[in-house]
Amino acid sequence: MKCKIHGCEEKVLHKDLCILHLELPDDESSETFKRIEKLKIEKLENRKKSQNLNFKGAIFVNANFKGFETQQDIILTGAYIKKDLNFENSKIQADIWGDNVDIGENLCFELAHINGSVSFFKAKIYGNILFDHTIIGNYVWFQNATIAGEASFNYTIIGASVSFKDARITENLSFYAAEIEGNVWFNRAHIMGEAWFDRLKINGNLNFFNTTFENVKGQERAHRSAKIIWEKIGDREKADYSFYHEMEAKRKQKPFYFRYPEIIVQYLFGYGVHPSRLLFSFITLLLLFAFSYWVMEGLFSLDSLLNKLRFSFLTLIVPAYGVINAKTGLYSFLTILEAVIGAFTWPTFIVTFARKYMR
């Protein structure tokens, strides 16, 4: 009688399930747990010897492929591994499929050589993922994955693109001295630890669009690396996006007496990369001061309002005009204040506009 799991050809051991799909007892110290674990290890080893590597939906305590060599795809889709999944020092000439896999501790690929792709789409990994000194010929896919530990790809060589879109990484992220032929995507990812991309060599681009960083130093490093790569490619708009978020991270690391006043520079001036924000700020100030002058003068006519709009506009772009033509008292004080703001706002807008659209 065959296992009730669709596509499984193994013989039933208990409850219409084969040893690969049989659930583990809760009590790890029990004899039943130890016996089932031993049988699962034996079955895994037999499958490896026979090169029958479809472990879809299988349940293991540990899945050890350390030093394993094969030319066949390894399929672990939907598998549950209570502790570690280990591919350390393995040589796989095909793909590894671990989509929707659930790993209780670590995923290790250190010193492995994988000719194909490595996919862990929507995987749940409750420890670290370790790819240091690994060679992967094609894609690496951790899109929508949850990683409760750190993700380490130091000195890794990847022949295509890497995706961590919508992934969640609880600890640190490191691609130190990695070499990647394609793109690296972290769009909408949530990274809670630090991030290192020093000495990264990449022929594509590095994306952190709408990525959330809880560690501001990690945000600074990640976006600085992305900025350099986008500038190298020649995409100034995306380089500006990374520059803005790099500067935001730097602001958040400053003492409070610098951090909070700089919010004005960030949101109103956009760190010089968002001319639309400056234009909006300029128009808002123009209307605000014009309305204040109109109310203070007390002549509530359309001509009076238009005259105050003109006066406010000229004061913002030619500060000396407002100071010379200002009345005394509070009116004069507001005029000087608008002139000082205009002395910074209007030139900054011109410079930002020129930088954004004319370089």
Phi-psi region of 18 (alpha: psi -120 to 50; beta: other; left: phi over 0): beta
- Greater confidence (119 vs 255) lies with 119
Domain end: 228, 263, 298, which one? 263
Tokens 């681009």 locate to 205
Does residue 150 share a domain with residue 184? yes
Closest CA to 83 of 115, 52, 105: 105
Query: Quick one: 87 and 205 in the same domain?
Result: yes
Residues 148-167 have a mean pLDDT of: 97
pLDDT given at position 48: 94
User: What pTM was estimated for this model as a whole?
Assistant: 0.81
CA separation for the pair 279, 259 (Å, rounded) = 24
Q: Are residues 303 and 193 in the same domain?
A: no
Same domain, yes or no: 131 and 150: yes
pLDDT digits (tens, 9 = 90+) for 203-245: 999 999 999 999 999 999 999 999 999 999 888 889 989 998 9
Q: Between 323 and 155, whose confidence is greater?
A: 155
Report if residue 280 sits inside a domain: yes
The answer to whether the CB of 103 falls within 8 A of the CB of 78 is: no
Q: Which residue has the higher pLDDT, 275 or 353?
A: 275
pLDDT score of 293: 85
Task: Indicate if 273 and 349 belong to the same structural domain.
Answer: yes
Give the sign of the dihedral formed by CA 48, CA 49, CA 52, CA 57.
Answer: negative
Residue 211 placed within a domain: yes
Contact 99, 79 (CB under 8 A): no
Q: Are residues 257 and 111 in the same domain?
A: yes
| pLDDT 10s digits, 75-114 | 999 999 999 999 999 999 999 999 999 999 999 999 999 9
Sequence letter at residue 344: F
Q: Is residue 209 part of a domain?
A: yes
CA angle 238, 239, 243 (to 5 degrees): 120
* Co-location of 116 and 205 in the same domain: yes
Residue 2 within a domain:
no
- Claim to verify: residue 248 and residue 289 sit in the same structural domain: no
Q: Are 83 and 105 spatial neighbours (Cβ–Cβ below 8 Å)?
A: yes
Same domain, 155 and 97: yes
Same domain, 236 and 271: no
- Per-residue pLDDT tens over the stretch 169-204: 999 999 999 999 999 999 999 999 999 999 999 999
Residue 328, in any domain of the structure: yes
Task: Give tens-digit pLDDT for 9-50.
Answer: 666 666 778 888 888 988 888 999 999 999 999 999 999 999
43 in a domain, yes or no? Answer: no
| Band of pLDDT at residue 282, cut at 50, 70 and 90 | confident
Average of pLDDT values for 329-358? 73
Domain boundary among the residues 263, 285, 302 is at: 263
Q: Is a pLDDT exceeding 80 seen at residue 321?
A: no
Q: Is the pLDDT assigned to residue 129 strictly greater than 90?
A: yes
What's the confidence (pLDDT) of residue 266? 73
Same domain, 330 and 242: no
Among 231, 263, 295, residue at a domain's last position: 263
Q: Give a yes or no: residue 14 inside a domain.
A: no
The segment with the largest mean pLDDT, out of 40-49, 289-298, 343-352, is 40-49
Mean pLDDT score of the chain: 88
Residue 236 shares a structural domain with residue 299: no
* Domain limits for position 148: 51-263
Domain count, the chain: 2
In a domain, 139, yes or no: yes
Amino acid residing at 11? K
Q: What is the 3-state secondary structure (H, E, C) of the chain?
A: CECCCCCCCCECCECCECCCCCCCCCCCCCHHHHHHHHHHHHHHHHHHHHCCCECCCCEECCEECCCCEECCCEECCCCEECCCEECCCCEECCCEECCCCEECCCEECCCCEECCCEECCCCEECCCEECCCCEECCCEECCCCEECCCEECCCCEECCCEECCCCEECCCEECCCCEECCCEECCCCEECCCEECCCCEECCCEECCCCEECCHHHHHHHHHHHHHHHHHHCCHHHHHHHHHHHHHHHHHCCCHHHHCCHHHHHHCCHHHCCHHHHHHHHHHHHHHHHHHHHHHHCCCCHHHHHHHHHHHHHHHHCHHHHHHHCCCCHHHHHHHHHHHHHHHHHHHHHHHHHHHHCC
